[in-house]
Amino acid sequence: MTTPESLFTLFGVYGDVHRVKILFNKKDSALIQYATAQQAAVAHQNLDHITMFGKQIRVSFSKHQFVQMPKDGTSDMGLTKDFTNSPLHRFKKPGSKNYNNIFPPGTVLHLSNIPTETSEEEIRKIFSQYGTIKRFKFFEKDRKMALIEMDTIEQAIAALINTHNYRLADSMHLRVSFSKSKL
């Protein structure tokens, strides 16, 4: 059900993920390597015991310090991916305001980088693929941001995984994170 990319997106809410490896012989287990141990601790604190794709996940610290990439010339069927230079890292800049907006998974998602011509109907159509939308609201002072409430936390997680960096216009990609706000 999951891919290195989906784990990168979800775990990337809590820190800059450098590498992801889904274990070949234990496909329900993965290693996630963060830029810092502190980021790994924040992910552990927020993601341990959440339900994802119908299954509760356990997040624990590994004895491995690094995720090994496959040796040159060998294939691991796409189970290991290096995201070190990804443009999607949320915490590259020291003191980034993103550090102030880290929240545990919840039903309300914060959307940003919405093009002004994008309608509520368009956004609802995208998010309804991942569950039932309870409420939606553009920010009054800044229509480039909105809050959307999904019916369950599991639906919100699926929506975040599948819509973060969704292309809404030529150079405008949706940014999605969990919100502390209620709708």
Which of 50, 85, 120 is where one domain is finished?
A: 85
**Both 80 and 27 in a single domain?**
yes
**Better pLDDT: 99 or 79:** 79
**DSSP string of the chain, one letter each residue:** ---HHHHHHHHTTSS-EEEEEE-SS-TT-EEEEESSHHHHHHHHHHHTT-EETTEE------S-SSPPPPPTT---TT-EEE-TT-TT-S--STT-GGGGG-----SEEEEE---TT--HHHHHHHHGGGS-EEEEEE-SS-TT-EEEEESSHHHHHHHHHHHTT-EEETTEE-EEEE-S---
On whether residue 183 sits in a domain, the answer given is no
Give the model confidence (pLDDT) of 109-167 as tens digits: 999 999 999 999 999 999 999 999 999 999 999 899 999 999 999 999 999 999 999 99
Average pLDDT over residues 34-54: 94
**Both 79 and 143 in a single domain?**
no
**Both 71 and 114 in a single domain?**
no
Domain that holds residue 123: 108-178
Check which CATH number belongs to the domain holding 117 and give it: 3.30.70.330
- Residue 177 banded pLDDT, cuts 50, 70, 90: very high
Give the total number of structural domains in the chain. Answer: 2
